[in-house]
Each structure stands twice: as C-alpha cells, then as structure tokens.
Amino acid sequence: MSRENIKMRLLRRFCPSRYSATVFDIDYTELRDQGRTNLLFDLDNTLVARDSNQVSSELKELFERLLDEGFKIVIVSNNWGERVSNFGKEAGVPVLGRAVKPLKRAFRLAMDLIGSNKDNSVAIGDQLFTDIYGANQFGLMTILVSPVSSIDLLHTKMLRHVERGILDRLTKLGFLQNWQGG
C-alpha cells in the first residue's frame, strides 16, 4: 500500500459520519428513519460548557421531545464526580462517567445501559480523538458538533489545532460535508 493510501486510511478513522453545528441542529428525523434511535451524547462542550453544570431549558426540552418520540439517550463522559451524575439526574437520562473514551469499552458499556447496539446507535461529541475516533473504531455512526465553549483543558486546547487540520483535510478530500471550521 502506498504512503498516500495509508495516510488516507488513517484520516478516515477520524472522519465523522456527519457534522452539525450543535446538538439542536442534528436531523433526528433522519436518524429515526434509519432506525438509529439510541443516542450516546458526550457531555463537556457537547451538551454544556466545561465550566457549567446547568442543564439549559432548551436542552431539557430537546431531551423530553426525543424521549417522547421513542429515542433512548445516554451521556458518555470521560469526566466523573457529582457534577456529571447530577447533570444526568437533572436531564433525566443515564450517565456513564469515567468512560475512558476512545476505548471501545466506553461505548459498549454506554450501549449496555440503554440496551442498544452499534447498528441502532449514534455517538455524538465535540472531539475527534475521543468521541469520533473511538466510536468509529467500534463501527458506530458518529456526529461531530462544534464545542459549546472555548473553555477546554490545556491538552484538549492543544489537540484542537490538530483536529482543525484533520477536519480541513477531510473536507478538502470530500469526506466531510458542511463543516464550517471550528
């Protein structure tokens, strides 16, 4: 295999199936039509800013609507502690904390919590190296969202530059549509 092919294969591992600006812009009807009614949401900077523990009324409404429509929801976070578990309680959905994404185990345990499998689930998150890469390795459909806020841990901040480079490349290659730059 040529070097170029190896590079492409590596890049594809980081390619989300879709990009949406926020969790409110995701086409949930399309997901339901595809039978993907189990949603694995990342927490920090996907559902809420890293420094916040507020479940917004907008998010509560979204979750209520989705649960009413028959979706199942689980929050999968590498973070842990009371803030994480309280967020789940307040949002009315189960939480897997200390998930250790990108390990496959994180996604498997989360799917076990809502009784789903990789063919009827979708992983949604803001980070290529944990949320998207991990779920792709597992064979899950993936949706990348833009981070809710620019507040990140230092190592995440550094990775953001690398992520942007990968996303630019994936967009140029035509693998990723409608990414607007992060």
Point out which residues bind Mg ion (CB under 5 A): 42, 44-45, 126-127
Distance CA 55, CA 77 (A): 15
CB of 131 to Mg ion, least distance (A): 6
CB of 166 to Mg ion, least distance (A): 16
Of 20 and 120, nearer to Mg ion (C-beta) is 20
Q: What does the block give as tokens for 136? A: 């792709």
CB of 133 to Mg ion, least distance (A): 13
Distance CA 101, CA 20 (A): 21
CB of 151 to Mg ion, least distance (A): 11
Of 45 and 142, nearer to Mg ion (C-beta) is 45
Among 16, 87, 100, 86, residue whose Cα is nearest residue 47? 87
CB of 105 to Mg ion, least distance (A): 18
Of 4 and 51, nearer to Mg ion (C-beta) is 51
Of 32 and 129, nearer to Mg ion (C-beta) is 129
Return the exposure string of 110-124: e unless at least 16 CB atoms fall within 10 Å of the residue's CB, then b: bbebbebebebbbbb
Among 14, 10, 6, 12, residue whose Cα is nearest residue 134? 14
Of 42 and 71, nearer to Mg ion (C-beta) is 42
Measured torsion, CA atoms of residues 95, 133, 146, 6, in degrees rounded to the nearest 10? 180
Angle value at C-alpha 148, between 143 and 154, nearest 5 degrees: 100
Q: Which residues pair with 75 in a beta bridge?
A: 41, 95
